[in-house]
Structure 1
Amino acid sequence: MNRTAESVWDNCLAFIEDNISSQAYKTWFEPIKAVKLADNALSIQVPSKFFYEWLEEHYVKILKVALTKELGATAKLVYIIRMENTYGNKLPFTEKIPSSNRSNMQLQEVDVPVKNKSPELKNPFVIPGIRNVKIESQLNPNYNFENFLEGDSNRLARSAGLAVANKPGGTSFNPLLIFGGVGLGKTHLGHAIGVDIKDKYPEKTVLYISAEKFTQQYIESVRKNNRNDFIHFYQIIDVLIVDDIQLFSGKAGTQDVFFHVFNHLHQNGKQVILTSDKAPVDMIDIEQRLLSRFKWGLSAELNHPDYDTRVAIIENKLYRDGVEMPGEIVEFLANNIKTNIRELEGAIISLIAHSSFNKKEITIDLARKIVENYVKHTKREVSIDYIQKVVSDYFQMDVDTLQSKTRKRHIVQARQLAMFFAKKYTKASLASIGSQIGQRDHATVLHACKTVNNLSTTDKQFRKYVEDLNKKLTL
């Protein structure tokens, strides 16, 4: 009987599939292709050296049994690794490696025609115990849904996060992009989703990584000439959480490699969660093909917490720390620190520390002193409402007129200036700025910013408006 490499490998796969989990089979055996059968040696093609090492580390015994059943005791196995040559020559190169003698299979010695030899392969995500099957998630269990309190400012993002945690990869929120200003809980929510998934689906591989760390790892993989192994490592993750995705801006190589990782994960029903300080429409120097993919799922904004949410955050923090604080002080803190949850928690910690170290009771005077010092040394965010008021007062009109639909030139210019400064001094998205300044869309805000920049260079009077308002907003 004339047997082919494909028929032998298909029979091996049938045996292997019956003896390992379906997830492991899909990840580690479906991508393999049978290439050649000669002299009782089966050559199989695998995507990378990392892939080959993992098979040898974890599945060599079952490979031996399957191949021996098909070809007998003299069976030989050769891996063919086809990968990109990342330096100069864009053509792929091939490396053939015989199976290790751990399998007790007879080895076939094969010349290795490699155009660009790579150094000893190491996993691109350098963490202890990477050789174990379990990959450490890098999640912080203190960032969970229990202490991520719901309010009007975060309800959509939190609800979407819970939906993803209940069914990762199985909702229309893929990717889930969480965006908003500094200190509003993006990182917290990203971790909370991951922690909840690990709790509900312990068998899933979840990984949290900052965009900065991802970029560093990519650069290292290029330096060591194992870019394909880097890509493949990220392609085996079930739930990938990338923090501060806007930091990919201007990094063409990192964007390209992330594009391949993203496509593979999305096509295979894996979950991608991203955080950013900007909405996709506001991201600069990010390739259009990536931006379009960021919009496939849901973009959910985190806004500044309202008064009730701020009170709830303070009370929850005090409860977790086992500290009691008079209601009037809680209200004072909630009224005076409005823009940033991180600032709010920092002020509470400072207040508790001063009280315990100096053995002083927490009083309103102590709270006032702490808040004054804290706010003095913290860069304050200007609100869109405040910007609209300053601009309206400067042009001697009310805010309603500024926001109106009128096309009178001086009112249009005032509105455009408000949009320009809102983009300059707040972390709000273009869509959010537009909706707060007269229910406009993001394209109107973008046009307003371009108009202000153009007029500032061509119109002396208009440049004075910009300079005067800039001074008023930075006092």
Structure 2
Amino acid sequence: MDVTAQSVWDNCLSFIKDNIQPQAYKTWFEPIVAVKLTDNALSIQVPSKFFYEWLEEHYVKILKVALTKQIGESAKLVYVIKMENTYGNKQPFTEKIPSSNRGALKSQEVDVPLNNRSPELKNPFVIPGIRNVKIESQLNPNYSFENFLEGDANRLARNAGLAVANKPGGTSFNPLLIFGGVGLGKTHLAHAIGVDIKDKYPEKTVLYISAEKFTQQYIDSVKKNNRNDFIHFYQIIDVLIIDDVQFLSGKSGTQDVFFHIFNHLHQNGKQVILTSDKAPVDMQDIEQRLLSRFKWGLSAELQSPDFETRVSILKNKLYRDGVEMEDDIIEYVAKHIKTNVRELEGAIISLIAQSSFNKKEITINLAKEIVEKFVKNTKREVSIDYIQKVVSDYFQMDVSTLQSKTRKRHIVQARQLAMFFAKKYTKASLASIGSQIGKRDHATVLHACKTVDNLSSTDKQFRKYVEDLSKKLSL
């Protein structure tokens, strides 16, 4: 490394450090490496194109002043962008972006006058070719604290959410992990926290995203060789809400990048909110270092609401929709649909619809008819353990035999059927299914599902296995 380049840059940093916030300095200047000094042009290496664009948009003036103080009016700055070595090349790619002759820091790559640069953040939703677009929060304003009714089953999670909304990043609830079964309001509460933060702190950048979409963005960034842009985008979010974080199960690359993003946000006092269908201790195929961070803050469970809360939820729903209904009918619905708020509201909507379309009065008998159909038609979510037990019992073997390494045909077929039904009846990833059924990988599960499909269409006896097991698991 050229000592002169380093000394010039150190002097520039000393000036910059005295004139900007410590956190901004740490985020945007500490990662920069001085490369060389040639003919009044200082070359510095930055981690990504996004990083370079952010510097030019937000710190171009202070960089120009600092460099001019050190080199003089003819000072120029050349950015060397270190490209992510995604495809296993031994040498990193670099791209040089020289300054123009008009003075420091006018990039030839981005042909926009400095004073017209938009200060808005870049969004990886539009990769490739990151553009100046405003980050939309992706929040649903209909999900609010007002219509998330408090009860014994959700009091801890709701109150923790309110505390986070009042002081994002400033409580011990960071991260806040909200977990619970299907339809209990995890997504609703996560949105409500985000909506409340946006109301109280409009200057904060809040982003809600599903873990599935986050994973897809990461995959796209790797394909397009702009992984660093992806990381830097997420590192400047103030409040990051990731829904269904269990979807990261078995995805080691996505877990690794999320680990680094999480660390950066947490260390910089930014708020992270996660939702999951299970507690951290029950998450399969999530790296221990990530699980340990999930446990840093608060894990709050949403449980099935009690009878009184279910009645309140229904009354609130009817009030918001401007519909009146007798108390005994509301209580009948609340008594018979117990486990899922989504199903509870769905039943009352069906009841209102039947009454409106068929011009029937809403009576207890109509409520019984609707609830009976609704409960009957609602698929019960089964666990992978339960599926393995049903399949093992059907073939008269132990679960340990089904999970064993043996290649005996009838055991292999039983194992493949268990994998097939696990994919059909649960939301678990292929990697998670494989891990729980004999510690296989996702490719084995994928092969098993294809084999079951093929045999079902060609083998009469095998088709009967599938039909019998389907009936047992659908009961």
Instruction: Give the TM-score of the pair, scaled to structure 1.
Output: 0.71
CA distance in 2, matches of 1:354, 1:128: 49
Give the equivalent residue in structure 1 for 2:48.
48
Q: Is the 8 A contact 1:56 1:99 kept in 2?
A: no
Alpha-carbon shift at residue 472 of structure 1 (Å) = 9.8
Give the equivalent residue in structure 1 for 2:272.
272
Q: Does 1:283 find its partner at 2:283?
A: yes
Alpha-carbon shift at residue 5 of structure 1 (Å) = 1.7
CA distance in 2, matches of 1:143, 1:130: 31
Q: Is the 8 A contact 1:15 1:66 kept in 2?
A: no
SS in 2 for 1:79: strand
CA distance in 1, matches of 2:165, 2:90: 40
Alpha-carbon shift at residue 100 of structure 1 (Å) = 6.0
Give the equivalent residue in structure 1 for 2:263.
263
Q: Is the 8 A contact 2:128 2:224 kept in 1?
A: no
CA distance in 1, matches of 2:12, 2:172: 37
Pair 190,224 (structure 1): closer, same or farther in 2 beyond 3 Å = same
SS in 1 for 2:126: coil
Amino-acid identity (%)? 80
Counterparts of 1:23-422 in structure 2, within 5 Å, are: 27-29=27-29, 31-61=31-61, 63-68=63-68, 70-89=70-89, 92-99=92-99, 105=104, 123-126=123-126, 131-132=131-132, 134-380=134-380
**What's the CA shift string for 1:271-322, capped at 9, x where partnerless?**
1111111111111111111111111111111100000110110011111111
Worse-superposed segment, 2-11 or 140-149: 2-11
Pair 367,96 (structure 1): closer, same or farther in 2 beyond 3 Å = same
**What's the CA shift string for 1:350-373, capped at 9, x where partnerless?**
122222233333222222222122
Instruction: Give the TM-score of the pair, scaled to structure 2.
Output: 0.71
Pair 178,108 (structure 1): closer, same or farther in 2 beyond 3 Å = closer
Pair 260,321 (structure 1): closer, same or farther in 2 beyond 3 Å = same
CA distance in 2, matches of 1:307, 1:369: 20
Q: Is the 8 A contact 1:76 1:108 kept in 2?
A: no
Q: Which runs of 5+ in 2 are unaligned?
A: 110-121, 384-424, 427-436, 439-470
SS in 2 for 1:125: helix
The residue identity in structure 1 corresponding to 2:239 is V
Worse-superposed segment, 152-161 or 23-32: 23-32
CA distance in 2, matches of 1:308, 1:127: 48
CA distance in 2, matches of 1:86, 1:236: 23
Alpha-carbon shift at residue 127 of structure 1 (Å) = 9.0
Give the equivalent residue in structure 2 for 1:5.
8
Q: Which runs of 5+ in 1 are unaligned?
A: 111-121, 384-425, 428-448, 451-470
**What's the CA shift string for 1:173-226, capped at 9, x where partnerless?**
111111110000111111111111111111111111101101111111111111
The residue identity in structure 2 corresponding to 1:285 is D
CA distance in 2, matches of 1:130, 1:175: 29
Pair 23,367 (structure 1): closer, same or farther in 2 beyond 3 Å = farther
Pair 333,98 (structure 1): closer, same or farther in 2 beyond 3 Å = same
The residue identity in structure 2 corresponding to 1:154 is N
CA distance in 1, matches of 2:259, 2:306: 37
Q: Is the 8 A contact 2:99 2:108 kept in 1?
A: no
CA distance in 2, matches of 1:53, 1:109: 12
Count of residues paired in the alignment: 377
Q: CA RMSD in A?
A: 3.4
CA distance in 2, matches of 1:159, 1:129: 42
**What's the CA shift string for 1:75-126, capped at 9, x where partnerless?**
201112234301113654443322467x75487999xxxxxxxxxxx84223
CA distance in 2, matches of 1:361, 1:129: 58
SS in 1 for 2:177: strand
Q: Is the 8 A contact 1:12 1:70 kept in 2?
A: no
Q: Is the 8 A contact 2:15 2:66 kept in 1?
A: yes
Worse-superposed segment, 373-382 or 244-253: 373-382
Pair 129,145 (structure 1): closer, same or farther in 2 beyond 3 Å = farther
